[in-house]
Copies of this chain bind each other. A is one copy, B any other.
Amino acid sequence: MSAKLTKLGKLAETEVAALRALPCRVSNVAATATLVREGQPITECCLLVSGYACRNKLTRDGTRQIVSFHVAGDILDIQHLLFERADHNVQMITPGVVAFFEMERLRRLVQDHPAIGQALWRDCLIDASVFREWVLNVGRRDAIARVAHMLCEFLVRQEQAGISPPENSMLPMTQEHIADATGLTSVHVNRTLRKLREQCVIAGKGREFRVVDWSAMQRIADFNPAYLHIAA
Contact = CB atoms under 8 A, between A and B. Distances in A.
Interface of A: 39, 55, 57, 59-61, 63-65, 67, 79-83, 85, 87-88, 111, 114, 117-118, 121-122, 124-125, 127-129, 131-136, 138-141, 182-183, 222, 226-227, 229
28 contacts: A57-B136, A59-B140, A59-B141, A59-B222, A60-B222, A61-B222, A63-B140, A64-B140, A65-B135, A65-B136, A65-B139, A67-B135, A67-B136, A79-B129, A82-B125, A83-B229, A87-B132, A88-B129, A88-B132, A111-B114, A114-B117, A121-B121, A131-B132, A134-B135, A138-B139, A139-B182, A139-B183, A140-B183
A138 to B, nearest CB: 4
B39 A226 contact: yes
Contacts of A227: 87
A94 B63 CA distance: 36
Given A65-B139, A135-B138, A83 B128 contact: no
B117 A82 contact: no
A117 B115 CA distance: 12
A198 to B, nearest CB: 23
Nearest to A179: B139
Contacts of A118: 82
A28 to B, nearest CB: 28
Contacts of A133: 57, 87
A153 B196 CA distance: 37
